[in-house]
Structure 1
Amino acid sequence: MSDLDQLADLQHGVISRAQALAAGLTVDALLWSLRSGRWQRVHAGVYATHTGPLPYEAQVWAAILRAGRGAVASHRTAAHLDGLYDDPGPVIHVTVPADRYVEPRIDGVRVHYAHRLPLTRHPAKNPPRTRLDETVLDLVDVAPHPRDAETWVTAACQRRLTTPERLADSLGRRKKIRWRPMVEAMLADVADGAQSPLELRHLRRVERAHGLPTGCRQRRVAGSRVIWIDVDYPDYHLRVELDGRIGHTGEGRFRDRRRDNRATVDGHATLRYGHADIFASPCTVAAEQARVLRTRGWTGRPRPCAPSCPVRPVIIKDRWGDDAMPLS
């Protein structure tokens, strides 16, 4: 293979005008390749060395080459390339060093600028992109809502692409980032086992806000078949399952049912909640959960999180007429 062929193969069939000329191709030969239909123009000065639709990686390479020196895939594009997000979206995101400016506007491409790009760029991946931890934090920084920021962090850890410790390390090296206090607190919660925005919400707005006992999150239980419990209270034989959309449809529904049935046979109670319960009515969930915990031996004191909260300590009298432990 010629140098030009090797370069095109490395770049998923895409090359820039400057690369083609540097590899020995003449201007006339380049124009002939375009006019004959052997090549196709993708962006100004960027060509595909084949006909037909471009695979996604080729589209990313074309955007990087058009953006020029130091450019890498970033944000949602890098997230898709690394398996963090299944949908690449309609726009390709690239980041270039902050000392450069890319003009004019590139169709279908959004250009970001970063001062620390040499440090955040992955040293080897193809197409070039930001490191996974930096990609997550880039997405957090542009997240319009706290829940979006939570989704990126929990998805990266849930898919085992990174760890809370690595994200915290990368976060510490950033001077400015949106949602920093929330992300710092969230990383501690993710390290304790919360693996989704739904689980984070249960931990914070149900469990902690109402003084309930701390559950064991993502507990692995081995038997004839390994099962995972979202939130387990082993001292009280109570399990809480939080049903997001993934893993709880089709075969997942039957797997959940078998797991719950086995738990009941073994003397465990199971409470099951979805997004509508945890996000819309966390206080109602807490009141229900507190009642079940008390019937199973918990002697703690649930507390209301606000004046309108339905969790109410109800003082009962013992046989001598003195105040005893409150019930929710």
Structure 2
Amino acid sequence: MDLSPVAHHLALQSGVVTRAQLLRTGLAPHDVRRLLRRRELVRLHPGVFVDHTGEPTWLQLAWGGVLLHWPAALSHTSALRGTDGPGRRSEDGAPIHLAVDRQRGLTAAPGIRLHRTVGLDGKVLWNATPPRVRIEEALIDVAAEASHDFAAISVLADAVQARRTTAARLVVALDGRARLARRQFLRAVLLDIDQGAGSVLEHGYLVRVERPHALPRARRQASAVGSIYRDVVYEQVGQIVELDGRLFHDSAQRRNHDLDRDLDAAVARLGTVRIGWGQVFGTPCRTADRIGRLLRARGWDGRYRSCAECAD
């Protein structure tokens, strides 16, 4: 049977179509049954069909969930997967997250997780294919529900570093949430990121090493020569702290770039130390003690202190 009357729906919805859409194009119920018998359409959900017999793609599963629970939109990690496009496969096999109006009494289909949302219309890009909540809303949701603070910071900082959004936009989205897990914590993280602590490692150094141990306030992402930026600079004593997140970008080119920066610092008679994930998140108190002693050796006359987490 000719499917050309529904070609528009199939093209727009990645090969997924609803019974109601089929009937609106002029097909009769017996035509729909014939298409199913011939396997030209296959049931994905009650009243929702896909136009092939193979394994449905993630995008087809997403469309199936949206159409089954319409009006609905991808949310949480599913919205991020939809924004990133087919190159991101981390959500393949995971439940499809959907935002629906808070007042609707729905039961989620298998493989779908529903999130009842206040002010749904204002948070959704309805013209997206498939519709999804705005990236800022999705990021806030994912960060709020993260298993621990480090994961929450990572969600926000990584998105800002990748220029998928800005810290300022995320703050606006966060301020629109009256009740949210980690709300004050997330707001503080975003404000720090907006002020230049633009990575998980930088933020960790700021709030786990520098601040709680009363180390002097450093400049962050300070411009040096040309396009070179220093992570943390204690200008009063000429000490640089480079935060080495090599866990995520280990390469010969990156290593060569780091060595060049250290050499330039030495020429300028600046001291440079490199610390990584273990020093910031594994032993922040020990790191603070060593940074404090280093700064004092270079002429800082202040006093650093123990924090509530430091061993006696």
TM-score, normalising length from structure 1?
0.84
* In structure 2, C-alpha distance between the alignment counterparts of 1:15 and 1:133, rounded to whole Å: 29
Q: What's the counterpart of residue 92 of structure 1? A: 96
Q: What's the counterpart of residue 321 of structure 1? A: none
Q: What's the counterpart of residue 48 of structure 2? A: 46
Bigger radius of gyration among the two? 1
CA deviation string 1:130-186 (max 9, x = no partner): 011111121133223222222222122222222222222222221110111211221
Q: What's the counterpart of residue 314 of structure 1? A: none
Secondary structure, aligned partner of 1:82: helix
Shift, 1:15, TM fit: 0.9
Change in CA separation of 1:221 and 1:27 when aligned onto 2, cut-off 3 Å: farther
Q: What's the counterpart of residue 110 of structure 1? A: 113
Is 1:35 aligned to 2:37, yes or no? yes
Secondary structure, aligned partner of 2:188: helix
Secondary structure, aligned partner of 2:125: coil
Residue identity opposite 2:203 in structure 1: L
Is 1:132 aligned to 2:135, yes or no? yes
Give runs of aligned pairs for residues 168-183 of structure 1, distance below 5 A.
Answer: 168-183=171-186
Shift, 1:59, TM fit: 2.1
* In structure 2, C-alpha distance between the alignment counterparts of 1:160 and 1:86, rounded to whole Å: 20
Change in CA separation of 1:220 and 1:43 when aligned onto 2, cut-off 3 Å: farther
Q: Is the 8 A contact 1:140 1:178 kept in 2?
A: no
Shift, 1:306, TM fit: 4.1
* In structure 1, C-alpha distance between the alignment counterparts of 2:89 and 2:194, rounded to whole Å: 24
* In structure 2, C-alpha distance between the alignment counterparts of 1:301 and 1:49, rounded to whole Å: 70
CA deviation string 1:224-273 (max 9, x = no partner): xx333322234433222222322234543333233323333332322112
Secondary structure, aligned partner of 2:103: coil
* In structure 2, C-alpha distance between the alignment counterparts of 1:168 and 1:308, rounded to whole Å: 32
Shift, 1:78, TM fit: 0.6
Q: Is the 8 A contact 2:218 2:234 kept in 1?
A: yes
Change in CA separation of 1:96 and 1:307 when aligned onto 2, cut-off 3 Å: closer
Shift, 1:208, TM fit: 0.8
* In structure 2, C-alpha distance between the alignment counterparts of 1:80 and 1:216, rounded to whole Å: 35
Give runs of aligned pairs for residues 257-272 of structure 1, distance below 5 A.
Answer: 257-272=259-274
Secondary structure, aligned partner of 1:236: coil
> Of 10, 13, 23, which residue of structure 2 is paired with 1:11?
13
Q: What's the counterpart of residue 230 of structure 1? A: 231
* In structure 1, C-alpha distance between the alignment counterparts of 2:73 and 2:44, rounded to whole Å: 17
* In structure 2, C-alpha distance between the alignment counterparts of 1:257 and 1:53, rounded to whole Å: 49
Q: Is the 8 A contact 2:285 2:310 kept in 1?
A: no
> Of 215, 221, 227, which residue of structure 1 is paired with 2:218?
215
Q: Is the 8 A contact 2:77 2:91 kept in 1?
A: yes
> Of 300, 303, 320, which residue of structure 1 is paired with 2:302?
300
Q: Is the 8 A contact 1:248 1:256 kept in 2?
A: no
Q: What's the counterpart of residue 284 of structure 1? A: 286
Secondary structure, aligned partner of 1:112: strand
Residue identity opposite 2:84 in structure 1: G
> Of 197, 204, 207, which residue of structure 2 is paired with 1:204?
207
* In structure 1, C-alpha distance between the alignment counterparts of 2:53 and 2:133, rounded to whole Å: 29
Q: What's the counterpart of residue 240 of structure 1? A: 241
Residue identity opposite 1:148 in structure 2: A
* In structure 2, C-alpha distance between the alignment counterparts of 1:21 and 1:5, rounded to whole Å: 13
Change in CA separation of 1:177 and 1:261 when aligned onto 2, cut-off 3 Å: same
CA deviation string 1:83-132 (max 9, x = no partner): 397622522111111222223x4222211111221121124322100011
- Residue identity (%): 34
Is 1:256 aligned to 2:249, yes or no? no
Greater CA deviation, 165-174 or 227-236?
227-236
Q: Is the 8 A contact 1:76 1:88 kept in 2?
A: yes
Q: Is the 8 A contact 2:13 2:63 kept in 1?
A: yes
Residue identity opposite 1:277 in structure 2: Q
Secondary structure, aligned partner of 1:88: coil
Number of aligned residue pairs = 306
Change in CA separation of 1:45 and 1:157 when aligned onto 2, cut-off 3 Å: same
Q: Is the 8 A contact 2:40 2:51 kept in 1?
A: yes
